[in-house]
Amino acid sequence: MSSALKPLPVDAIPAVDASAAAIAQDETFAGPAPDGVAAPAASLLRFITCGSVDDGKSTLIGRLLHDTNSVFDDQMEALERDSRKFGTTGEDLDFALLVDGLSAEREQGITIDVAYRYFSTARRAFIIADTPGHEQYTRNMATGASQADLAIILVDARKGILPQTRRHSFITSMVGIRSVIVAINKMDLVGFDRAVFERIEADYRAILPQLGFTDIAFVPISAKGGDNIAARSASTPWYEGQTLLERLESVRPETLEPEGAPFRLPVQWVNRPNLDFRGFCGTAASGRIARGDAVVSLPSGRTSRVKAVFGPDGEVEAGFAGEALTLTLDDEIDASRGDVIVARGDTLRATRTLSVDLLWMSERPLIAGRRLIARIASAQTPALVRTLDEAVDIHSYRPRQTSALAMNEIGKVTLALERPTVAAPYADTRELGALILIDPMTNETAALGVVRAIAAEPGIQDAGVPAAAASASRFERARAQWLGTAAGRPRLAAPLVRFRAAAAILLGLLALLFGLGLPGAVLLALIDFTLRPFLWRLFTPEPKPGETNRPDEVGDGAGI
């Protein structure tokens, strides 16, 4: 898994264009302001703060909110009261209390869960996910990271790089964040010593090659005193870089979605307000779609053309990545939740075998053979953890062999999906490469993961194959089951075929034992071998798309 992270030369960091004009022209963020209204911040940056316990994350956020005038008077009054009651800072305001909202957190002085905070400056709107430092809440940190464009990794100047710093850096990298700010905090407690700052920077740079961050800055700060956060500190005349806030306002984070990616729309819901309208709703994962474009629905492989594209404000000429769209098609093709509509010619396809990097989040350790439910984009299918390939040592980033993944451990597994599901490597597309695993017994979200590779499989459609070959009628499915493969030639080695052969032979032997003659026994065995798949079809319900085919389990009442 660490091998999947390509080392990047540290000096290949692009210069950040810090002018406001450049950001205003940045097409990802530019937008008109409503008439007659003071312009709201046009661009949005989502970032996380992470690091070890007591590195001062909550204090830093409290400080950011305070120094950008995002704290209201009544909240400040409450903060003064609370600082006296629960504060850990003596006479001073305890900024951490602004953000630690749950009573258990205030009493223990730690952050248990992700807290989302909102503030804006004249240049940008920000959404912060303040994530917990405790190892036991790693899953909450990973959740926050999965939605962020940038990470602030805090390091305590007195302690340097800790195991949790490495763990959070690794998860940050795993979920695809490329822009990080390493904020070396509590500089006031080491006398704003330049040597301390530079030593920690060198230590962190030593682990960078394994992380693949392409845009990194180191800032010496004191969250408690406000040094180098919104204002330049007089105590660090040796530091010539940007303050933390300047950096946040000017950074242009890399996104994973490559330019010019093909159009892909995971079908979320089918809108049928009347008999004449069948709209496929979903948020476009990538690309662009216009009226008349040829599309393919996966995994069925049926083709059609786009009749109309609807955006949030009604019909539009074209729809784009990130927009909540509704498509109507020329033909009555049967696509439903869990399918993906793609541009014709896309190489994307459905698969049954995935190689996945997982963060295990459940108390019961993961072992090979566990059955879970995988959720990829809008598709949901039972999945078997076929093999647990390796775990990652969070200290050295080296893989090691293991038979179980404990809570908050990261490892690589091979998943066998019950139904062919459209997926792609996370490095190519976040939307179709991110997944969660759900425990069918407790319904808890037991793991989050990213697809590293998908296995090639014969007989499963990709968008380049003509649709006729992919029609999956009842007969076709029965035939596929009988032959043990969806392809035309029988596969004698298929487990199902072998099982049937063994069962038939056993039945023949039993018949002989009970005194039936040899021809009768052979005939009986042949009949059994031939008819068993059809009996199987008869008594097992057809899985509806997007439904788990386990009628005996506790339903989620949601049809999926």
Partner 1 sequence: MKPMTHLQRLEAESIFIIREVAATAENPVMLYSIGKDSAVMLHLAMKAFAPGKPPFPLLHVDTTWKFREMIEFRDRRAKELGLDLIVHINEDGVRAGVNPFASGSRLHTDVMKTEGLKQALEKYRFDAAFGGARRDEEKSRAKERVFSLRSAEHRWEPKNQRPEPWRLFNTRKRQGESFRVFPLSNWTESDVWDYVALENIPVVPLYFARKRPVVKRDGMLIMRDDERMELRPGESVEEMEVRFRTLGCYPLTGAVRSQARDLPGIISEMRSSRSSEREGRLIDRDGGASMEEKKQEGYF
Residues between 88 and 147 that touch partner 1 (CB under 8 A): 98-104, 106, 112-118, 120, 125, 127, 139-140, 142-143, 146-147
How far apart CA 176 and CA 169 sit, in angstroms, is 11
**Six-digit token pair at 123?**
């240049």
Rounded to 10 deg, the angle between the 163-174 and 138-146 helix axes is: 40
Distance between CA 96 and CA 308 in Å, rounded? 51
Is 363 a binder of partner 1 (CB under 8 A)? no
Strands 288-290 and 294-298, bridge-based pairing: unpaired
Contact yes or no for 39/108 (Cβ under 8 A) = no
- In angstroms, what is the C-alpha Rg of the chain? 28
Residue position matching structure tokens 């808890």: 444
Q: Does 277 bind partner 1 (CB under 8 A)?
A: yes
- The answer to whether 117 touches 99, Cβ cutoff 8 Å, is yes
Asked if residues 71 and 98 have their Cβ atoms less than 8 Å apart, the reply is yes
User: Is 313 one of the annotated binding-site residues?
Assistant: no
Own/partner pairs for 543-546, CB < 8 Å, 24+ apart?
543/419, 544/336, 545/336, 545/337, 545/338, 545/339, 546/336, 546/337, 546/338, 546/378, 546/379, 546/380
Residues in the chain: 560
Residues 277, 290, 544: CA angle, nearest 5 degrees: 45
Instruction: Choose the stretch contacting partner 1; rule: CB under 8 A; options: 202-210, 282-290, 477-485, 510-518.
Output: 282-290
Among 19, 274, 401, 403, binds partner 1 (CB under 8 A): 274
The string of DSSP codes covering 515-558 is: T--HHHHHHHHHHHHHHHHHHHHHHSPPPPTT--S-TTSPP-SS
Closest CB to partner 1 among residues 190, 422: 422
Of 163, 292, 322, 517, the residue at the interface with partner 1 (CB under 8 A) is: 322
Specify the pairing of strand 43-51 against strand 302-311: unpaired
Q: Is 130 annotated as a binding residue?
A: yes
By the rule CB under 8 A, 29 interacts with partner 1: yes
Q: How far is the CB of 320 from partner 1 (least distance, A)?
A: 4
Alpha-helical runs (H) found in 399-443: 430-433
Among 17, 444, 476, 542, binds partner 1 (CB under 8 A): 444
The smaller minimum CB distance to partner 1, of residues 225 and 311, is found at: 311
When binding is defined by CB under 8 A, the residue of 11, 74, 332, 552 that contacts partner 1 is 74
Residue 58 labeled ligand binder:
yes
- For the CB of residue 401, give the shortest distance to partner 1 in the complex, in Å: 27
- Is 290 among the residues that bind partner 1 (CB under 8 A)? no
CB of 152 to partner 1, least distance (A): 18
Stretch that binds partner 1, among 238-246, 318-326, 463-471, 510-518 (CB under 8 A): 318-326
Our finding on whether 20 is near partner 1 (CB under 8 A) is no
Token pair, residue 528, equals 């059994």
Phi, psi of 295 (to 5 degrees): -130, 160
Whose Cβ is closer to partner 1: residue 442's or residue 471's? 442
Q: Is 387 in the site for partner 1 (CB under 8 A)?
A: no
Output the smallest distance, CB 438 to partner 1, in A: 5
Q: Candidates 38-46, 48-56, 289-297, 411-419: pick the segment binding partner 1 (CB under 8 A).
A: 38-46
- Residue ranges in 172-191 that form contacts with partner 1 under rule CB under 8 A: 175
* C-alpha 532 chain-centroid distance: 41
Residue 286 marked in a binding site: no
| 361 is a contact residue toward partner 1 (CB under 8 A) | yes
Nearer to partner 1, 118 or 534 (CB): 118
In this complex, which beta carbon is closest to partner 1, that of residue 235 or of residue 283? Answer: 283
The answer to whether 214 contacts partner 1 (rule: CB under 8 A) is: no
Q: What are the residues whose beta carbons fall under 8 Å from the beta carbon of 552, sequence distance 6 or more?
A: none
Of residues 1, 23, 43, 381, which one binds partner 1 by CB under 8 A? 43
Cite the annotated binding site by residue number: 51-58, 130-134, 185-188
Cite the annotated binding site for GTP by residue number: 51-58, 130-134, 185-188
